Amino acid sequence: MADSIADNLLEVRQRVEQAAAKAGRKSDDCELLVVSKTWPADKVAEVANAGQLSFGENKVQEAEGKVPALPDNLCWHLIGHLQRNKVRKALPLFDVIHSIDSLKLARYTSNIATELKLKPQVYLQVNIAGEESKNGYSVEDLRRDYDDLLGLQGLQIQGLMCIPPAAKTPEDARPWFAALRELRDELEQRGGHTLPGLSMGMSGDYPVAIEEGSTIVRVGSAIFGHRNYH
């Protein structure tokens, strides 16, 4: 890739704005989260120096090494699966967790957060296509648990997150993004709580996700180039 990381960042920002404009949305309503997993702190610092403040990591252990090596005004999001035995380590590192996918994990995380006097923002991860191999709430289980989730005092529930099935074209992902938005609308209509956030869209499909209502896109390789490992 000939372009610099800073050029890539600029280009992604422009595409976010274009997609928002096309959908008649304000670009402020769609946040860019830069996914820095697998990239060393010095690469992440290049993006931070270009003005990017929020970064996504998928492993607690990797973040433990990286977060302290970078400026402390950055905001860190956990986008990977959260294991119960990592909750206590994860909470002080991450401001936002995108991967809460059971009532049990939510309760436990809420309790530890309260103990640590923290109140993370969370997204409820939904296995929107019902794929067997994927983490995330099934739609039915989320409908069942939703009211209990709202009662947890240690969490600020922002909205829903999904990773749609691998697709050949960005358009293939559109129905899944729309389905997540519709599920969000349905849960909101129960009343009692707004659910403003939709964490959806990655390098291959973020403009489509924005057209379907995404409020935060998680973009890695379009900025850093291809990862050699996951």
Ligand X SMILES: *Cc1c(COP(=O)(O)O)cnc(C)c1O
Tell me if 202 contacts ligand X by CB under 6 A: yes
Tell me if 54 contacts ligand X by CB under 6 A: no
Tell me if 221 contacts ligand X by CB under 6 A: yes
Kindly tell me which of 82 and 222 has the beta carbon lying closer to ligand X.
Answer: 222
Would you mind telling me the total number of residues written for the chain in this entry? 230
Tell me if 35 contacts ligand X by CB under 6 A: yes
Distance of closest approach, residue 38 Cβ to ligand X, in angstroms: 8
Interaction with ligand X in 103-162: which residues (CB under 6 A)?
none
Tell me if 58 contacts ligand X by CB under 6 A: yes
Kindly tell me which of 159 and 220 has the beta carbon lying closer to ligand X.
Answer: 220
Residue type present at position 47 = V
Tell me if 203 contacts ligand X by CB under 6 A: yes
Tell me if 218 contacts ligand X by CB under 6 A: yes
Out of 163, 180, 195, 198, the only residue in the binding site for ligand X (CB under 6 A) is 163
Token code pair at residue 162: 């999904």
Q: Which residues bind ligand X (CB under 6 A)?
A: 35, 37, 58, 79-80, 163, 202-204, 218-222
